[in-house]
Amino acid sequence: MNRYFRFFAAVLFTVLLTAIVLPATALAEEREPISGLTDLARVPAGERLPRFIDDAGLLSPEQAATLTKALDEVSVRHRFDTVIAVVPALDYREARLYAADFFEQNGFGFGEDLDGCILLLAVENRDFGFAAFGFGIEAFTPAGQGYLDKLVLPHLKNDQYYEAFMAYADAADDFLTKAEQGAPYDEGNIPKTASQIRKYRIYGGLAALVLALIIAWSVTYAWKRQLISVRKDDLAHAYIREGSMVLTGKKDIFLHRRVHRVQRVQNSSRSGGGSFRSSSGRSATGHSGKF
């Protein structure tokens, strides 16, 4: 009797253990984070990707880890998902629309309004797109987005991707802080960038030098005139008898005509900068461009 009891107890224990372990293992496999996916159709809605996705291998693993940590800190501090995605190429969509859909379909965003922003690069044709949702519409005004480009694009154009991405993370922290204080970056309070400050200093130095040269020349010219007793006369009025020369006719002859035509270059490197709607119909703000 004891032998049969032990046998049935062992069978029952095995069944219970299997019922507990198998669902937990399946759940763990389902929640395993996805990395490196850029085909939006293959990414189930609600899955969480890291806040830095690099499908083109632009950064080293060490740089990627440091950048991800910085993005996570900004996101948690402001409860505002700050994301960077690098994809090989765009599809039929404009870069800002692709970025907005990427942000939504991969489960980013805090709260019902999906508070957050994303910078997306498509390396094949050097496209970039920026999109912001929720509180980001207030924090990243059209004028503020222009300022953001001045902080990030110079690095991207020189293929300094790590520097560009870190500048984006720092800028997002600054933009959100200003918006939370009730003074988002907009027309009238856009600060000067470091390159603009250097340029103004150079122009100021050159202007001061030119002014000093003009003052020095004026002083020396005045001193020189005081030393001359005979003045130079460019006309011969003193040698002409009044009324001795009379012009009886005047005529202007048009001899030549030379016209230079220069085509006006249209700047199409940036589009957008205002409100739009993602594929799901949510309101967003952003722009697209080349780097």
Q: Could you tell me the residue ranges of all domains in the chain?
A: 49-193+284-290
Is residue 121 within 8 A of residue 102, CB to CB? The reply is no
Distance CA 154, CA 195 (A): 10
Lowest mean pLDDT among 43-47, 101-105, 125-129: 43-47
| Cα 40 from Cα 129, distance rounded (Å) | 16
Taking only the tens place, the pLDDT of each residue in 197-236 is 555 455 555 555 566 667 766 666 666 666 666 566 666 6
Mean pLDDT across the chain, nearest whole number?
78
Residue 24 reports pLDDT greater than 50: no
Contact status, residue 140 vs residue 132, Cβ threshold 8 Å? yes
Q: Say which residue, 246 or 83, is predicted with more confidence.
A: 83
What's the CATH number of domain 49-193+284-290, 3.40.50.300, 3.20.20.60, 3.10.310.50, 3.30.360.10? Answer: 3.10.310.50
- Using CA atoms, how far apart are residues 246 and 128, in angstroms rounded to an integer? 74
As beta bridge partners, residue 285 has 132, 275
- The torsion of the CA quartet 179, 181, 182, 184, rounded to 10 degrees, works out to -30
Local confidence band at 158 (pLDDT 50, 70, 90 cut-offs): very high
Predicted model pTM: 0.62
Query: Nearest-CA neighbor of 155 among 143, 169, 141?
Result: 169
**Contact of 123 with 145, CB cutoff 8 Å:** no
**Local structure of residue 144 (DSSP, 8 states):** H
pLDDT of residue 191: 82
